Amino acid sequence: MDCSHVFEFKVNRLIVVFTLFLAFFSATPAAFAQVDSLQTTESTHAETKAEKKFDIGKFALHHIADSHSWHVIGHTYIDLPIILYTKAGIVSFSSADFTTVEEGKVVRDDEAKVVVERNGQRFVKMHEKIYYASDVANDHGQFVTLDEKHHATNARPLDLSITKNVCTLFISIIILLVVFLSVAKGYRTNKGKSPKGIQSWMEPIILFVRDDIAIPNLGHKYERFMPYLLTVFFFIWFNNMLGLVPFLPGGANLTGNIAVTMILALATFCLTVFNGNKYYWKHIFMPDVPWWMYIVMVPVELFGIFTKPIALMIRLFANITAGHILVLSLICLVFVFNSLYIAPVSIAFAVFIGAIELLVAFIQAFIFTILSALFIGMAIEEHH
Amino acid sequence: MELLLPEFGLVIFQSIAFLLLMFLLAKFAWKPILGAIKEREQSIDEALNKAELAKQEMARLTAQNEDLMKEARAERDLLLKEAKTLKDNIVNEAKTQAHTEGAKLIEKAKIEIENQKKAALAELKNQVSTLSLEIAERILRDQLQDKTKQEDLVANLLKDVELN
């Protein structure tokens, strides 16, 4: 299939520029992050020392990771329910249970120091993961056994909690449903007339998905895949933008979470595999090359079936995560330099990156959708 | 590295939620929206086609009007021309008729004049003959008043008769 039109697209040149830009800027915090994750546990037993030295990597990674409670502002948290599928059935309790009161202050535990007992089972939370607690605490008062990399080795129950990301997922679904059901309602009330209100905001984008993504890649059979392409496009776009909002109901890094991008890529993979026609499979198993080339070609083509969705998964995850890390790192410059005078600089940069991230939010949704359409298009293409 | 490991809970929630979202949107949003857009596009296409047809119809009608006008003008010209020839004919005819009538009258007048002349001449002849007779009578009467002259005349006359 001729894919050249994808690469000739203007947006792609922009993407290359921005990706290089982002890569350049995000390389440093990422490097920090690796070093600092090693230092994290060491710093826990010297808390006075940790307070002095601000840990940018830990901070950024903590913010982009999933969480069992939703930080609102200051010491205000929304405690989300924890639902566990354990050996003894389903157990659920509030994440507020992982707190202790020390010297009249509520301390939220994330280092496996507080044990919650339910249904005769004991749980601890460490780095936003729930473990079965060890019987006795280790030297640092943690009810887990740690390996040499300071990772807990305890067994884990199946965690089906409504985490911050799951919450965002539901919120985004509600927003999407409200927006597009009202758009659909607009088409019923303004039947045969020009679009009005939110309908006129969304129609050009829906038409963009149809005319610039679906039809060029899928040809006349585009209608079957429109629901998927539109859903995936708006899901990614809305969640990308929701992730840029620093306060409720945004702030979660949903599209920068590998589980989410994995499911999205898996959907594209399934559509590609189940809709692939005989020409597609012939191209993979019996390509038009001399037979002795099959030894090389068939494994390569088979490998290609999986690398395409994996690339989709990694691309979206990495772009959104990098953007979040970048903005967080810029904001953190104030604390790194420990000076308020750096604030204008870091805010100016954060605003600049924020503007770019708005663009990236759209571009990543577009890229994911157009590549999905391209892969599906390759699978359903008729050869004459 | 932990970022790259998908959490099982989120995988489950994401797959269920996404499928549900896609189902709901497909049924209650995308289908009516795309349907309405398509319908509207079709109606716009139709309207444009109709406008094009109307334009062609207009052009046709204008051309027809033009033709009609041309035809009417030609007809008018023809009528005028016909009228003119008719007029010329009538005038000519009238003229010739007048001529012939005139000529006839003149002819008649001539004949009349001739007749009158003849009559006059005849009258004149009669008059002349009467007059001459009278004159002759008088002369004769005058001449034959004496006897000798009467005898001379008779003698002359008798001479002539003898020659016959």
User: In this structure, what token pair is assigned to residue A13?
Assistant: 């040149």
In this prediction, residue A227 carries a pLDDT of 93
- Between positions 53 and 82 of B, the ones with CB within 8 A of A are none
Residues of B in contact with A223 (CB under 8 A): 34
* Domain spans of chain B, in order of start: 29-163
Split chain B (164 residues) into runs of 10 and give each run's mean pLDDT.
Answer: 81 93 93 90 93 96 95 95 94 92 92 90 88 84 79 84 68
- Between positions 18 and 47 of B, the ones with CB within 8 A of A are 18, 20-22, 24-26, 28-34, 36-37, 39-40, 43
| Closest chain A residue to B1, measured at CA | A34
- Could you give the CA distance from residue A308 to residue A267 in angstroms, rounded to a whole number? 12
- Between positions 322 and 381 of A, the ones with CB within 8 A of B are none
Angle formed by the axes of helices A258-275 and B8-25, to 10°?
A: 50
- Could you give the CA distance from residue A288 to residue A268 in angstroms, rounded to a whole number? 26
Rounded alpha-carbon distances, angstroms, from residue A362 to A11, A97, A171, A249, A358: 11, 39, 19, 19, 7
* Optimal mutation site among B1, B7, B37, B42, interface A, most CBs of chain A within 10 A: B7
**SS3 per-residue string spanning B72-88:** HHHHHHHHHHHHHHHHH
Question: Hey, is the C-beta of A173 within 8 angstroms of any chain B C-beta?
Answer: yes
* Domain spans of chain A, in order of start: 4-26+165-380, 78-162
Q: Is A113 in a helix, a strand, or coil?
A: coil
Question: What is the rounded (10 degree) CA torsion for A63, A64, A69, A70?
Answer: 70
Nearest Cβ partner for B11 among A227, A263, A321: A263
Question: Hey, is the C-beta of A60 within 8 angstroms of any chain B C-beta?
Answer: no
Amino acid found at A285:
F
* Inter-chain touch B26–A231, beta carbons under 8 Å: yes
Rounded alpha-carbon distances, angstroms, from residue A307 to A91, A171, A229: 38, 31, 20
Q: What is the pTM of this model?
A: 0.74
Distance between B51 CA and the closest CA of chain A, angstroms = 18
How many Cβ contacts (< 8 angstroms) between chains A and B? 109
In this prediction, residue B72 carries a pLDDT of 95
Residues of A in contact with B40 (CB under 8 A): 192
In this prediction, residue B163 carries a pLDDT of 63
- Could you give the CA distance from residue A39 to residue A32 in angstroms, rounded to a whole number? 10
* Inter-chain touch B34–A226, beta carbons under 8 Å: yes
Question: Hey, is the C-beta of A284 within 8 angstroms of any chain B C-beta?
Answer: no
| Closest chain B residue to A61, measured at CA | B3
Asked if A238 and A260 touch (Cβ cutoff 8 Å), the reply is no
CA angle, corner A297, sides to A296 and A298, nearest 5?
100
Nearest Cβ partner for A235 among B4, B18, B37: B18
Question: Hey, is the C-beta of A223 within 8 angstroms of any chain B C-beta?
Answer: yes
Query: Strand pairing of A129-132 and A69-73?
Result: unpaired
User: What sign results for the dihedral spanned by CA atoms A60, A64, A69, A70?
Assistant: positive
Place of tokens 């599928």: A85
Peptide bond before A249: cis, by omega within 30 degrees of 0? yes
Split chain A (384 residues) into runs of 10 and give each run's mean pLDDT.
Answer: 48 50 45 40 43 73 85 84 88 86 82 84 87 84 83 87 91 94 89 82 93 92 92 95 85 89 94 90 85 88 92 94 90 84 89 92 95 93 76
Residues 6+ apart with CB under 8 A from A119: A86, A88, A89, A91
